[in-house]
Amino acid sequence: MYDIPKFLKRDGESLLFNNSGEIVFYVPEIYFEKDIAEVIGEYVSLLGVFDYTILDENGKSSGLKPFNFPTMFLCSPYVIEKGKQLQLTKYSEVQDYRLLKFKKDNKVVVSVKVPQSIENAEQFLRLFKTGQLPTTIPYDKLHKYFIENITLNGENYGITMQEFGMIVSEVCRDPKNKQVLFRHTNITDMTNYTTINIKQVPQMVSPFTSITSENWDEAVVNAIINKNDTYSPLEVLFTK
């Protein structure tokens, strides 16, 4: 399904780093806190949705790129370092990372035959619905990750890409004003967006919709401060 990048070479079922420098995985610390990544002896099990860069022998970076292997897999870095309060791009939020580093012939993917499990799809959805997927994934490519993730795990959502697009469009927002959907902005850079927890979506639609959301305390506060004066038919029904 995936073409092997030039900086990797296949050795049996493993993919090894094939350059003279290093490849560095920037794995958000929150992945480890939420059990989406775990250190297991010399290996790390993690969901393949994060940023990486390749450094040459002089330490010069080739630039940051999104790693696109949206399922759980094992890797074997030669060292793991902690990066505190890093901002990877001018648009990304400052947060803590673990830097997984690989040099020539290290196993970047221990086995390409990853186990299929619906739990892997649940892990991906959990990241998405809590607004914690890396925003280095272009907005117009984000919907494809859902399909790749569920396909790699032998399942099928049975819904159309348009329906995924509707979900993505509600979670991705204007970074300067989370009340505004990213698709309603004039921003042309597809990585210049921010994401919110899917539970926050009702709070940003209208005062009445906010009241119907899950967290009652937050719902009331957001209903009071919500400046959207658009009324729904239900509001009319309940106020007459």
pLDDT in tens, 188-225: 999 999 999 888 877 776 555 555 555 555 555 554 45
Mean pLDDT of 16-35: 94
Q: Which tens digits make up the pLDDT trace of 73-86?
A: 999 999 999 999 99
pLDDT over 70, % of the chain: 84
pLDDT-derived band of residue 229, with 50, 70 and 90 as boundaries?
A: low
Q: What is the pLDDT of residue 12?
A: 93
Average model confidence (pLDDT) across the chain? 86
Q: What is the pLDDT of residue 158?
A: 85
Q: Which tens digits make up the pLDDT trace of 126-184?
A: 899 888 999 999 999 999 999 999 999 988 888 888 888 888 998 999 999 988 999 99
pLDDT-derived band of residue 238, with 50, 70 and 90 as boundaries?
A: very low
SS3 labels along the chain: CCCCCCCEEEECCEEEECCCCEEEEEEEHHHHHCCCEEEECCEEEEEEEEEEEEECCCCCECCCEEEEEEEEEEECCCEEEEEEEECCCCCCCCEEEEEEEEECCCEEECCCCCCCCHHHHHHHHHHHHCCCCCCCCCHHHHHHHHHHHHHHCCCCCCCCHHHHHHHHHHHEEECCEEEEEHHHCCCCCCCCCEECCHHHHHHHCCHHHHHCCCCHHHHHHHHHHCCCCCCCHHHHHHCC
